[in-house]
């Protein structure tokens, strides 16, 4: 294990940190009271809030700030079994198909037996009876039982069982009555189009992204044909990881956030807001340095990196800078952040350039965000496979004038002359290159006829006289440009970022392991403010209730801790939960309505009136002021706080 | 189909609405360019934003406002296959187990062949070698190939295939080397504990909830043993629906939001904030009215409903009122909302009372939120099955003093006297009721001995002399009360609410179907403000850019439409998207920096300075002011807007 230090210089002890995270219920093994399921975790309240706050920040930083089009993904379906109706081309989930047909038959049976069908079911039954083979028809009692048992465990069947069921019960397309092909796993069905991006164990590129590509034409229309634009998606993915036994970091279930930014490949992939980020300094580990066996980082501005060609283009560079600013907002330690360029053999053949944002943790450097220029690959593959126009059509500012040799055929004579070969000969002529056309136009002028290679017709050479053909140089005007956009794809492994942020935020007071602190920035902290009455004295209750209700109205998440533990103990607990601020209610509060506000990281306190304290908290949480600002403008309070 | 009218009195034409929703990309069939997959949809940008805004509002309305503990759920796992190690009790996902063991063997093989193992893998390999049967060991080439092929399609195997693989490759618990039992589907493994709540096709109660119950003890600890409290969870569920062919409403994949509110069953399940809601009027369809064959609604305050016993208790009533206020915030039409009480035969035997919030749509009345008092059932079942202490232990304010007959045995003589039967006799004595003890104490005093029934010992009756036993009336003091909390469970089908809200928000201008409007409240509208420059004139660009950037900073989502379509067309498009406000940039804006602000629902406009307009927008979006407020305080602008 690499030794990694906290901000305050102690070595991170993962065992201690992990036990703290479980104790404070950031996460907890799933089904623990039933013995637990290896590798499955639930997030407890602070973990869930942390993830919700992180994805919220992601939405603000990327989707809102960059005006992206967010869509939903259909990840979870990729392990399903699908049946195709070869006639209509319709695709069914195999389990749903079996279920639908069997249910319809059972209802037909009820109908035939004269049993009451409930209101909802009746409507269904009517609809179903229109479908082939599902009319009101009595079934054998044994068959009814078999259907019912099958339905009860429909979720448990895999492909082979579903195939058997479809055969055994003659299950067909319920609308057309056509036979369906045997079930195929979803992944196989789309195999050629939905492949991993590279030859590495592909963590950072689950199949989610494909949903966005498939919807490209509609998204472009939604964006009113305007380029460039980006789509974004947050969703769960279930890619396999190497080991399910490494705690919170290596789980099977990922929350991924992905962006597909579509850009015109012409003109160097400039970005209109590149100027805003060009002076951002990045720690880069480029391909050549890695090849030389070194891991030395190069500090360089994004502007310089793009200028020197180290980073391929402005759009890619822009996103690297934006990824960095996002990670720093989350509380990532800048000293533990690097951008590593993919080696040539790590990248897919079509990728132009690819960088991973890696975060250093006690597990080593972990890739947390990938940022790849995938060229036009994905859209091209889907376009070729489906014929869907996944392209941008753009009116040219200046019409394009193209000088070219055009060929006119005298169709009336051409047909009778070549008879059954006419189409083949015509196709061969259409396919002639501009160079050949130029040569042939000269031949035609000189000899009054030309000779053209046509495979499969006569000797393979065909003679055409000048009364059948005309070849002329003309000017064609093109008003519309059609192109396949290139894709810059930043993709974020939220779970990995979460773990890294936790480690980067972790330290312990005075090097004492029992006094852990998680210094989350207020924006992502699960709870923003802890309200602590000095004791369980009844006079404090109305004050804490008023404060909590006012903070809630202001949208500031807060918790009251009115347990009988010492103030120090209660604050310690909340240091472990990463709560950045604390308000103490004491006897002076009851008298003059002033309160103390405590800062988690420094444990310093200020004291002021209720309004001032609430205003300060709001300002701190919304990032308008820092603790330093508050401390300068509000009177310090010297605490009698006893650290537990 | 029931005829349902829009707010403006036109009949809802579902075909027209549906085509508008698809055209505006609220949703779109998944994989459409590949022919689509029956019953699968992706949400496009407005649909995704709507869901995100709805869940955000849900979090604010319930989790933040009621200080609930939000946790993550593990829904997606319920279709998995699990293997149990009968010795250790450990449970593995069968596919993960096979994968882990085969991967470990392949690494052992690489090691044995002296091949380079990558850094990450090396660490793994070392770890794995500690496990039984995974040492560095060369494998047959054919076996390597077989393992690799198996791993490549591990996600496709069902239970029977996994069972075969486990047998064939002798796959065991990697840590202990113990054999594992054949794979069982997750649902079966937890069958007795995770059953549906009632005998209806159980839409509103997916298995998600169970995760919260399983974590009860930890959540209680997290809440510092303080009662009552609630946990909450948002997650996807894949419960089966009757028909996959009914468009957006009936999909297989649900977003569910669930609350488990734990309450002390003693004292009538009062709620401390009931006073805040007691005057809320609800439209109730109670059990008795339904039994009489009627669907007439009773309008009644929650206070009255609880007082008369129609709604079982305050906590249940409190949540009904809170559910209603949440739905109204989303834009639900109050005339199309009712609370229907479950009939006795719809409810599970243990449920105390259950009400569904139903919304009227063109599909009829749809249950969108369930709210059940499930008594102590779930916690009791899990407690009994696992022995985990899913209870609350509470110090009694007043110690409980219990007068009772206690029995002391003279152990030294008792053992020798009854020998191998001693334990059985002792247990029989321990089990004696207080009444019997009282009678026996009198016998003992009178006869110097007693006779006790002990099944399976001698004649079934045992005589015990007074030198062996003492029975005395004494006082026991109980300082701690232990109880299993009852659960009130509101559960929300977000997708169904989404669809209903769309239908309730839908109308068309002047009854013209081609001029559809979605009157979403600003809080959930996908985009809050449309920025419309009068034309593509260059002088407008800096102004729209400044406005969009200022709105973005203020957290107000907005879109610029600078296409060349007429203003009327552009507004029409955004009426269909439900964008509540529009700012027009015209030539006067360039001169004096004033802008017009348009209200979607009335199409009225006001004109004011940039700062005033931006402030008005913020105030409208945050709900501080209504359009009526704005119209009163800013000068009206009479528009030349040409409706498209």
Best residue of A23, A26, A37 to probe chain B, by most B CBs closer than 10 Å = A37
Structure confidence by residue, pLDDT tens digits, A64-86: 988 899 988 653 444 467 788 88
pLDDT at position B310 over 90: yes
Tell me what pLDDT residue A37 has.
62
Q: d(Cα B543, Cα B595) in Å, to the nearest integer?
A: 10
CB contact residues (below 8 A), chain B span 534-593, against chain A: 548, 552, 555, 557, 559, 561, 563
Question: Per-residue DSSP letters for B578-608?
Answer: T--EEEEE-HHHHHH-EEEEEETTT--EEEE
- A395–chain B Cβ distance below 8 A for any pair: no
| HSE toward the beta carbon, residue A469, CA cutoff 13 A | 25
The partner residue sitting opposite B252, judged by closest CB among A96, A211, A548, is A96
C-beta of residue A487 within 8 angstroms of C-beta of residue A376 = yes
The DSSP H or E segment spanning A493 is strand A486-493
Residue B485, class by beta-carbon neighbours within 10 Å (0-12 exposed, 13-18 middle, 19+ buried)? buried
Residue B479, class by beta-carbon neighbours within 10 Å (0-12 exposed, 13-18 middle, 19+ buried)? exposed
SS3 A114: coil
Structure confidence by residue, pLDDT tens digits, B362-391: 888 988 999 999 999 989 988 887 888 999
Tell me what pLDDT residue A118 has.
52
The four Cα atoms A265, A269, A273, A276 give a dihedral, to 10 degrees, of 160
Give me the long-range contacts of A432-440 (CB less than 8 A, separation at least 24): A432/A407, A434/A404, A434/A405, A437/A405, A437/A407, A437/A471, A438/A405, A438/A473, A440/A471
**Which chain A residues have a beta carbon less than 8 Å from that of B218?**
25, 28, 44
Does the beta-carbon distance from A386 to B33 stay under 8 Å?
A: yes
The closest of B614, B639, B644, B643 to B630, measured between CA atoms, is B614
Best residue of B29, B96, B105, B117 to probe chain A, by most A CBs closer than 10 Å = B96
**Which chain A residues have a beta carbon less than 8 Å from that of B28?**
215, 218
Q: Where are the alpha helices (DSSP H) in B286-393?
A: 287-291, 302-307, 314-330, 377-386
Beta bridge partners of A471: A407
Beta-carbon contacts of B602 under 8 Å, excluding residues fewer than 6 positions away, are B627
Answer whether CATH 3.40.50.300 is correct for domain B527-637: no
Q: How many C-beta atoms lie closer than 10 Å to residue A395's C-beta?
A: 9
Q: Work out whether the CA dihedral A74, A77, A78, A83 comes out positive or negative.
A: negative
Q: Work out whether the CA dihedral B327, B329, B335, B336 comes out positive or negative.
A: negative
Largest CA distance in chain B: 114
* Closest CA–CA distance from residue A233 to any residue of chain B (Å): 9
Best residue of B20, B47, B70 to probe chain A, by most A CBs closer than 10 Å = B70
pLDDT at position B239 over 70: no
Tell me what pLDDT residue B191 has.
37
The partner residue sitting opposite B96, judged by closest CB among A32, A67, A244, is A244
User: Closest residue of A to B561, CA-based?
Assistant: A224
How does residue A644 score in pLDDT terms, banded at 50, 70 and 90? very low
The partner residue sitting opposite B158, judged by closest CB among A71, A127, A161, is A161
**Which chain A residues have a beta carbon less than 8 Å from that of B236?**
76, 236
Tracing tokens 């309505």 back to the chain, one arrives at A593
pLDDT at position A239 over 50: no
Q: d(Cα B601, Cα B519) in Å, to the nearest integer?
A: 7
The closest of B557, B564, B553, B546 to B581, measured between CA atoms, is B557
Tell me what pLDDT residue A640 has.
56
Total residue length of chain A: 644
Answer whether CATH 3.30.930.10 is correct for domain B14-67+192-379: yes
Does the beta-carbon distance from A34 to B214 stay under 8 Å?
A: yes
Size of interface A-B (CB pairs under 8 A): 251
Q: d(Cα B51, Cα B497) in Å, to the nearest integer?
A: 10
C-beta of residue B513 within 8 angstroms of C-beta of residue B575 = no
- Supply B478's token pair: 């109980």
**Which chain B residues have a beta carbon less than 8 Å from that of A185?**
153, 155-156
Tell me what pLDDT residue B156 has.
67
- B25–chain A Cβ distance below 8 A for any pair: yes
* Closest CA–CA distance from residue B419 to any residue of chain A (Å): 39
| HSE toward the beta carbon, residue A555, CA cutoff 13 A | 10
Residues A325-362: b if buried by 16+ CB within 10 A, e if exposed: ebbebbbbbeebbbbbbbeeebbbeebbbbbbbbbbbb
Q: d(Cα A298, Cα A304) in Å, to the nearest integer?
A: 11
Mean pLDDT across B607-615? 97
The partner residue sitting opposite B236, judged by closest CB among A76, A82, A160, is A76
Peptide bond into B228 cis (omega under 30): yes
Q: Candidates 1.10.3720.10, 3.30.420.40, 1.10.10.10, 3.30.930.10; correct CATH number of A14-67+206-379?
A: 3.30.930.10
The larger pLDDT score, comparing residue A208 to residue B579, is at B579
Q: Do domains B14-67+192-379 and B398-483 have the same CATH topology?
A: no
- Supply B72's token pair: 């993550």
C-beta of residue A218 within 8 angstroms of C-beta of residue A262 = no
The closest of B245, B191, B225, B255 to B50, measured between CA atoms, is B255
Does the beta-carbon distance from A40 to B218 stay under 8 Å?
A: no
- Supply B328's token pair: 């109204």
* Reported ipTM: 0.76
Q: d(Cα A630, Cα A193) in Å, to the nearest integer?
A: 56
Tracing tokens 């989790």 back to the chain, one arrives at B63
Tell me what pLDDT residue B569 has.
92
pLDDT at position B190 over 50: no
Peptide bond into A25 cis (omega under 30): no
Structure confidence by residue, pLDDT tens digits, A273-287: 999 999 999 999 999
Answer whether CATH 3.30.720.200 is correct for domain B398-483: yes
Does the beta-carbon distance from B103 to A242 stay under 8 Å?
A: yes
CATH class of this structure's domain A86-180: alpha beta
- A117–chain B Cβ distance below 8 A for any pair: no
C-beta of residue B102 within 8 angstroms of C-beta of residue B142 = no
* Closest CA–CA distance from residue B425 to any residue of chain A (Å): 34
Tell me what pLDDT residue B533 has.
96
Tell me what pLDDT residue B241 has.
36
Tell me what pLDDT residue B36 has.
63
What are the strands, taking DSSP E only, across B10-134?
27-29, 41-43, 69-70, 81-84, 91-93
Name the most confidently modeled range: B100-104, B508-512, B607-611: B607-611
User: Strands A41-43 and A27-29, how do they pair?
Assistant: antiparallel
Beta bridge partners of A508: A516
SS3 B560: strand
With a pLDDT cut of 90, the percent of chain A lying above it is: 51
User: Closest residue of A to B29, CA-based?
Assistant: A215
Among A376-385, B318-327, B384-393, B635-644, the least confident range: B635-644
Structure confidence by residue, pLDDT tens digits, A562-584: 988 999 999 999 999 999 999 99
pLDDT at position B562 over 80: yes
The four Cα atoms A161, A165, A168, A171 give a dihedral, to 10 degrees, of -150
Structure confidence by residue, pLDDT tens digits, B107-123: 888 888 887 655 444 44
What are the domain boundaries of chain B?
14-67+192-379, 86-180, 398-483, 527-637
Mean pLDDT across A233-259? 59
- A61–chain B Cβ distance below 8 A for any pair: no
C-beta of residue B516 within 8 angstroms of C-beta of residue B576 = yes
CATH T-level assignment (fold) for domain A400-483:
3.30.720
User: Strands B41-43 and B27-29, how do they pair?
Assistant: antiparallel
Question: Per-residue DSSP letters for A363-390?
Answer: TEEEEEEEEEE-TTHHHHHHHHHH----
């Amino acid at each position: 294990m690499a030794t990694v230090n906290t901000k305050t210089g102690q070595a991170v002890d993962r065992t201690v940190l992990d036990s703290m995270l479980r104790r404070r219920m950031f996460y907890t093994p799933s089904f623990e009271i039933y013995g637990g399921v290896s590798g499955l975790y639930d997030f407890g309240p602070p973990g869930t809030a942390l993830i919700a706050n992180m994805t919220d920040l992601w939405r603000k930083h990327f989707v809102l700030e960059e005006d992206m089009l967010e869509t939903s993904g259909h990840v979870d379906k990729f392990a399903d079994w699908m049946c195709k109706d070869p006639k209509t081309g319709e695709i069914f989930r195999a389990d749903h198909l079996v279920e639908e047909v069997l249910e319809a038959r059972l209802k037909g049976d009820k109908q035939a037996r004269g049993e009451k069908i409930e209101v909802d079911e009746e409507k269904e039954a009517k609809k179903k009876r229109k479908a082939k083979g599902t009319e009101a028809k009595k079934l054998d009692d044994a068959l009814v039982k078999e259907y019912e048992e099958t339905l009860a465990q429909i979720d448990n069947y895999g492909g082979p069982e579903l195939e058997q069921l479809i055969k055994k019960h003659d299950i067909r397309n319920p609308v057309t009555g056509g036979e369906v092909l045997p079930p195929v796993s979803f992944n196989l069905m789309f195999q050629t189009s939905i492949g991993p991006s590279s030859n590495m164990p592909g963590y950072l590129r689950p199949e989610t992204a494909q949903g966005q590509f498939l919807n490209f034409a509609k998204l472009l229309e939604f964006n009113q044909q305007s380029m460039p634009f980006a789509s974004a998606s947050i969703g769960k993915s279930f890619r396999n990881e190497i080991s399910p036994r490494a705690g919170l970091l290596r789980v099977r279930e990922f929350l991924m956030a992905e962006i597909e930014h579509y850009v015109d490949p012409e003109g160097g992939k400039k970005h209109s807001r590149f100027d805003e980020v060009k002076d951002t300094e990045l720690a880069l580990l480029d391909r050549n340095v890695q090849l030389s066996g070194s891991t030395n980082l190069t500090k360089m501005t994004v502007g310089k990196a793009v200028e020197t060609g180290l980073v391929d283009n402005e759009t890619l560079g822009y996103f690297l800078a934006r990824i960095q600013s996002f990670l720093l907002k989350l509380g990532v330690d800048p000293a533990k952040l690097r951008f590593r360029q993919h080696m040539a053999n790590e990248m897919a053949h079509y990728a132009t350039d690819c960088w991973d944002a890696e975060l250093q943790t006690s597990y080593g450097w972990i890739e947390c965000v990938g940022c790849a220029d995938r060229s036009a690959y994905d859209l091209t593959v889907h376009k070729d496979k489906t014929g869907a126009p996944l392209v941008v059509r753009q009116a040219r500012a200046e019409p394009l004038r193209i000088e070219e040799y055009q060929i006119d055929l005298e169709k009336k004579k051409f047909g009778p002359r070549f008879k059954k070969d006419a189409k083949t000969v015509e196709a061969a002529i259409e396919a002639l290159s501009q160079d050949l056309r130029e040569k042939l136009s000269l031949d035609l002028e000189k000899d009054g006829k030309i000779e053209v290679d046509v495979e499969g017709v006569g000797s393979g050479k065909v003679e055409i006289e000048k009364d059948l053909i005309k070849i002329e140089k003309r000017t064609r005007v093109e008003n519309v440009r059609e192109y396949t956009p290139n894709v810059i794809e930043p993709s974020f492994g939220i779970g990995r970022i979460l773990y890294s942020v936790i480690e980067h935020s972790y330290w312990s007071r005075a090097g004492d392991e029992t006094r852990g602190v998680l210094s989350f920035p207020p924006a992502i902290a699960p709870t923003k403010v802890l309200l602590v009455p000095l004791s369980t004295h009844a006079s404090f209750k109305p004050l804490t209730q008023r404060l909590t209700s006012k903070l809630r109205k202001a949208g500031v998440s807060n918790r009251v801790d009115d347990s009988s533990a010492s103030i120090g103990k209660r604050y310690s607990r909340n240091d472990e939960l990463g709560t950045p601020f604390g308000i103490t209610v004491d006897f002076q509060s009851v008298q003059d309505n002033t309160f103390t506000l405590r800062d988690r990281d420094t444990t310093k306190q200020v004291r002021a009136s209720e309004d001032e304290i609430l205003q300060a908290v709001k300002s701190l949480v919304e990032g308008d002021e820092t603790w330093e600002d508050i401390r300068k403008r509000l009177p310090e309070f010297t605490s009698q706080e006893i650290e537990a």
